[in-house]
Structure 1
């Protein structure tokens, strides 16, 4: 540690931005108990320099209190000060969670899931992003050349992710020009959301050091390849095994996992407002994009909103370890905390209601006729953020996952985003979000 080092106290807000305040690193110990104050009207910020109408005004303040296990420090380059930050819970003066804290939204859902099922939730996000820079040249997707154009960036990224403790698993070129994908090992409980945020910030930091910009926007241009933030998830039982796996179940899914999937599919149209929550999200979300356009279930079907990813293991004794499920609608304009919270809440509804597993489809749902989709109970996902918010408002169960203040203030921010871009050329919308994310 050097004199002048700064530690950031950071939190993820309604629009998935990591807001922060900094303190001298020498003072961080004194801030661990009570953090730093923050005017909660900041929760009404859009991703830009606009603020939505909100119930707080200048009065209410919460404490952004560091979560010790999220401490992240990167000290890799001699010519760049370390990146040192903690993720925070937003707490009231009495130490109780603020009802509009996105991290608490997630942790309360996780606690309810464990209490009601005896299982712990485990998840990992895929991180698709675009690199931009004056020296970068277009090249062939999925190619070795795409990796070797930026070899030092790739090497530093692997080093930084390892130092950050997020356990990188793959770094690969993707389909889009300048697009890459990072996957990390899954984490249990709240750390799944924390690890997602840490990973994105590490990617951005390494890109900055190399004079590049990493953008996680869902769509850099209307006709460009999009970036998703798919979530792979499973359950951990008390013995440490995969509680979502049963070799006798459909696709290998245990009964509890089948009900969980059914709940997610049932509430998928409404939770789009929470997991694909920006105007630009709906340039990506739709048929033929390998993202999904319908609330559907499949096995190894990348056009299904929820899919089972069977284990590649041939040894029956090992098959359960790699079995997982995937939610494909989310993108990085959503707070990872809200994505996990919404996913877990929807799955819990399926368990509570004992919903049957939907029929697995083996093709793009858009290729089915209207009558075939109706027979299978497959509903279209919203085609715009406005439609998504209307579907959210029409679903009392989903609204009930949030306090009235959380719900009203969140919707106000999202309506503000819609208002800001009314009548705007889609290309300009994409550019704005590419710069913001």
Structure 2
């Protein structure tokens, strides 16, 4: 996922039908399951990033022997968006099940009639499984449910306890949370601790400015768009105030200036290039994978704290949709429902740290208990921390070009900060780019 990517109330999922679905391993109701036919069907699926679904494909094929799944995973959400837009414009080549990232929702909703209305295949029978704001995001203006939610992205702070302790800072995760201000943590606190770390070690504190900026934007009541859909960048005083703080951190040498999504095959996570990292749930699997790619393991020192500068934040979250070009919409809808039921949501979390948008899954022992991820992150109670970080998150309205602004406008500008540009110069660079794109 690129910078656009994957709030909560805990309650029981109601309905005997939902219980029956979990018991049988089929997640849609009525006649929407693909197992009702002996016709051999191949379903294509396009996802991106680390979603934790691979083993579920195999399981579904075993439970539905008439179905073969051909899955394609694209490396980042930004590249997946380009792939979708290209095929959408051509009217051909789209898969039966298309993963859509939160940051694309504005673009997807603009052409929502090109996605299957999942209420035709049992969506109304299972709509209570999701937190309400996630269901609302996946519903178009005409009340058509076009996307089943997979994960949400509440953010906590990944940090390297060994590097912290070497700098004279606490390594214990509870003490780290207090170091940043606990429930009252601010970005000022974050940058202040970063300056202490820099003074003690001479090294950068976070990997690059782009991910920090993404978190800052997502915390605002209104980001690049107002809640009624108007572009909201140039005269957005709240946005500019956050930018000035980010610029101050870069000027103090707190950013390692890493290329986004390229950490030298994980080496930057193991060689002390930086000590903190912005971590929505789905990013935990990325961190683990990067460390292991560089030959590291659980002893590398990475941990996960129940704290986040500036308060609750959500980065990303994905939906599974069925384009109307699918020749097998019934079977595709059944697969999408299966991949987003409580049992599957737990399995995806255990595989990739993707925190469920499914209410029942959020308190499942498979989410709150031990897993390979918890072991990697120094036995951190990851599910409990993410549940805590999800409290108070409010879904921010994402306009039609939200991801474009994040990547094409502020992506280069944050890189300029990391290369030494002043805050004002980089901000003006972003505004110039925005004006040249003539977005709405």
Q: Which has the higher contact order (CA 8 A, sep 6+)?
A: 2
TM range (shorter): under 0.3
Q: Which has the higher strand share?
A: 1
Question: Structure 1-normalised TM-score?
Answer: 0.25
Q: TM-score, normalised by structure 2?
A: 0.25
